[in-house]
Amino acid sequence: MSDEDDSSFLSLPSAAFSQRPSLTAELNETNTPSQKLLIETLQDKVCEFQARLRSEEVTRHLLLQQLQQQHSVQRETRGGGVGVVTLQEEQTSSRPNGVRVLQPAGEQSSDRLSCPGEEQLVTRLHTQVEELEEKLLDQTREVERLRSELGATDLEKQLELLLVENERLKQELKSCRSSELQKLDTAAETCSCSHCPFSQDVESLRREVSRWESQARQRERRLAELERELLEKSSRVETLQRQLDDSTRQLEESRRRQEETEQKLALRLQECEAELARQAAAPPKVKYVTQTVEVESADSHRVLAEMQTKNGALQEQLSVQRQLLRELETQLHESQRTCAQLRTQILVYEGEMERAQGQLEVEMQNLEEEKNREIEEAFLRAESEMKAVHENLAGVRMKMLSLQRALRTLTNDYKCLKRQVQDFPFMLDKAITEAKQEICLVIGEVSSTNQELLRKYKREMNLRKKCHNELVRLKGNIRVFCRVRPVSQEEQDSTDAKTMLSFDSDDDAILYLSNKGKIMTFELDKVFPPQATQEEVFQEVQALITSCIDGFNVCIFAYGQTGSGKTYTMEGVADDPGINQRALRLLFSEVTEKAPDWDYKISVSMVEIYNETLRDLLGENPTDKLDIKMNPDGSGQLYVPGLTNFTVQSPEDINRVFELGHMNRATACTNLNEHSSRSHALLIITVSGFNSATGNRTQGKLNLVDLAGSERIGKSGAEGSRLREAQCINKSLSALGDVINALRSKHSHVPFRNSRLTYLLQDSLSGDSKTLMMVQVSPLPANMSESVCSLKFAQRVRSVELSSSSSRRHENSSTSSSPTHDSVELDSPPVTPVPLPISRASSAGSTLSSTSRTPSSSRRRSQSQLSTGRLKLTA
């Protein structure tokens, strides 16, 4: 073998690993750190093995050189052919004796026969080396292949299968989720209305799915970690396995080669020894060769000794090799031990790996089951919810269909309405025109109807007024009521408390009076017993108040002796007012009722007549005397210059006016009670009305008169000023009687001027005026004579009136057209105006009671009695 061959041989392992850096880089890129460590360890072992191989090769090469040298020495010793000498010329030239050993031509074949064995050995050795090199290359390739196919073990395949399965499951899960989500999305889209009751369920399902997804991701991460661990462990096991295999293989190989080398060397040594022995034992064939040998035996011996020395050296080397072999065996044992440890470790790892794999499989199975279960549950839930959603959807569709129908109807309605709206302006114009025409017609009709109604209203108003007036007139323009005051508490306690008056339960116009054992009967228009209330009294007089509103003049007198209740009837007390206040209240209510058509003004004056002197109770100076004068406008009306006239608009105004009147009356006298008994108090209410619709104007005057006490002077025994007071009172009361009598008798002359009272009330007593005389009577026996006088006065006044009223009533029933007064005059002869009679009751009581039903005779008697009474009074 040449040096070139040697160098090529030595360079083989390097060439085999010439691409190691790139491969290492590749492995560094592709493998895990543990794998890299194993590969590096493997590479180191391979390098070590190659180094060892190289050293063996060097040893072998040295042995071959020694063998060649030995062989050439042997050839020279044997005296081989020229060619051989030639061949070994350079070697022999170096010999000290310079003896050249020539090999005969005929023996060259034998030399050549010995050479082929060595050459065969060398060739065989070369072949072995080549085989070793090839095996090394194969091993390297195998290592490369294994490196390239790293992960292709059963475990890796299993792992790959698991990974593929895992990937498949992931894909399946993903597709399942996507399909479920798509279904849910579709459901959500189809049911996307905000008021859908399943939107919340869909949201909760989505949250559930996302929760499961996160759990699945966590489990996938755990699976990936387990897979990584498994991969690491399997790669480590695989690397160790490979390392072990390589080590085992290398050891076996090196042992085998060592054994072979040993065998070959031993065989060669034996052959060499045998050859030497054979050559030594063989007899010299040729003489000169023997001689030469003999000549050169010393040299041969020397050479032999050298050879033996060399042989010894070789033996030593052999022992060294054996030692080396032993060391290698030791190493092999160690390797085997290591291998056993590694196998144990591998077994442990395999166990761990199986356990991990088992765990992994169990976990995978659990995960799979859980996943399937959850997917099934989610699917079932989603299915049920989808079913519900579908049902709802069906309901909604049904509703939609109904709504569509309704919408169609509405659309039609809308179109109709639109058409109507379009036509509306024309219709409106037309309707407005028609309505205008109709309204004009109606307005015309209404205005004509209004005119007619107004006319009728005027007529009706006049009619009502006439009727009312007629009613009052039929009742009597002068009506006479009697009111018996109750016995007071103090009077009841006295012995004189026995009442002498009694009433007819069937006729409220009859009053019985027991006087000196005689029962006198008085018939009036109305008799109020002591228990009659203010309201009941006012009920009977309120028709006169209404006449005042209609424009008639009214006078209401309270007549009677002192303490008989005149002031109580007219003024009343604070919590139970009399006629004055009630009349004003009635006026206000009536005026308010008529307010839309009528505008009324109510004014009040208060005067007092004392000793024939007229005083203004509402004036600033109530003590000033007032005159009654004829109005200068020529109307014939009387008026009182300087009389205060208050316009009242509410009951509060009335109260203020009354307070002022009372205050002024009190300041004008020292004893109000006595003064009030001897003076006439007049409340004059003027009611002026204007009807804006008809243009009618009315004015009525209501005179409410609380007369002075009517007791006789003879009884009271008055003198001086009292007498004058009594005379004045009698004068005015007689004048009042005369006036009333003249009015009833329709005398041409009515003596109004006989007293201030009648003169002041002239226009309220004449014409169509209405008068009410309220005769107040005390029920006490002590007042009986005065009561009889008062009642007789009332009886006489009324008897005249009664005859005329009954006549009127009679005539009305027969001939309504005949005037009432005419009939009176027909029934009774004209009566000369006489003063109002005030007579003693005792003289007329029985006569009245017996003749009260015959007006004509009683009137005649009354006339004479009145004359008698007047004379008495005058006296």
Ligand X SMILES: Nc1ncnc2c1ncn2[C@@H]1O[C@H](COP(=O)(O)OP(=O)(O)OP(=O)(O)O)[C@@H](O)[C@H]1O
User: Which residues belong to the annotated binding site?
Assistant: 560-567
Supply the minimum distance, in Å, between the C-beta of residue 755 and ligand X. Answer: 18
Rounded-to-integer distance, Cα 392 and Cα 196, Å? 9
Annotation: binding site for ATP: 560-567
Rounded-to-integer distance, Cα 262 and Cα 259, Å? 5
Residue (of 288, 299, 311, 301) closest to 96 by Cα position: 299
DSSP per residue, 215-275: HHHHHHHHHHHHHHHHHHHHHHHHHHHHHHHHHHHHHHHHHHHHHHHHHHHHHHHHHHHHH
Supply the minimum distance, in Å, between the C-beta of residue 733 and ligand X. Answer: 12
**Measured in whole angstroms, how far is the alpha carbon of residue 411 from the centre of its chain?**
34
13 - beta bridge partners? none
Rounded-to-integer distance, Cα 759 and Cα 122, Å? 195
Rounded-to-integer distance, Cα 594 and Cα 588, Å? 10
Residue (of 526, 533, 414) closest to 475 by Cα position: 526
- CB-nearer residue toward ligand X: 56 or 706: 706
**Measured in whole angstroms, how far is the alpha carbon of residue 683 from the centre of its chain?**
70
- CB-nearer residue toward ligand X: 479 or 483: 483
Q: Between the CA atoms of 395, 397, 398 and 400, what dihedral angle is there, to the nearest 10 degrees?
A: 120
**Alpha helix (H) residue ranges in 495-642:** 534-549, 566-570, 579-593
478 - beta bridge partners? 771
- Give the C-alpha distances (Å, rounded to integers) separating 111 from 107, 108, 117, 123: 6, 5, 11, 18
- CB-nearer residue toward ligand X: 521 or 562: 562
DSSP per residue, 751-820: -GGGSHHHHHTHHHHSTT-EEEEEEEE--SGGGHHHHHHHHHHHHHHHHHHHHHHHHHHHHHHH-TTS-H
Supply the minimum distance, in Å, between the C-beta of residue 776 and ligand X. Answer: 6
Rounded-to-integer distance, Cα 548 and Cα 551, Å? 5
Contacts with ligand X by CB under 6 A lie at 485-486, 560, 562-568, 676-677, 709, 776
Rounded-to-integer distance, Cα 642 and Cα 626, Å? 7
| CB 763 within 8 Å of CB 553 | yes
**Measured in whole angstroms, how far is the alpha carbon of residue 203 from the centre of its chain?**
25
Supply the minimum distance, in Å, between the C-beta of residue 576 and ligand X. Answer: 9
Rounded-to-integer distance, Cα 860 and Cα 862, Å? 5
Stated as kind and residue range, the H or E segment containing 576 is strand 576-577
- CB-nearer residue toward ligand X: 367 or 681: 681
Give the Cα-Cα-Cα angle 323, 327, 330 (nearest 5 degrees): 140
- CB-nearer residue toward ligand X: 565 or 661: 565
Could you give the 3-state DSSP secondary structure of residue 750? Answer: coil
Residue (of 132, 356, 135) closest to 234 by Cα position: 356
Rounded-to-integer distance, Cα 745 and Cα 477, Å? 12
- Give the C-alpha distances (Å, rounded to integers) separating 457 from 41, 172, 454: 140, 104, 5
Q: Which residue is nearest to ligand X (CB)?
A: 565
Rounded-to-integer distance, Cα 134 and Cα 122, Å? 18
| CB 836 within 8 Å of CB 773 | no
Token pair, residue 621, equals 């100076």
Stated as kind and residue range, the H or E segment containing 325 is helix 297-475
- CB-nearer residue toward ligand X: 243 or 562: 562
Supply the minimum distance, in Å, between the C-beta of residue 861 and ligand X. Answer: 28
Rounded-to-integer distance, Cα 701 and Cα 764, Å? 7
- CB-nearer residue toward ligand X: 709 or 869: 709
- Give the C-alpha distances (Å, rounded to integers) separating 736 from 168, 240, 385: 138, 161, 112
- CB-nearer residue toward ligand X: 218 or 533: 533
Rounded-to-integer distance, Cα 200 and Cα 196, Å? 8
Burial class for 47, CB neighbours closer than 10 Å (0-12, 13-18, 19+): middle
**Measured in whole angstroms, how far is the alpha carbon of residue 792 from the centre of its chain?**
88
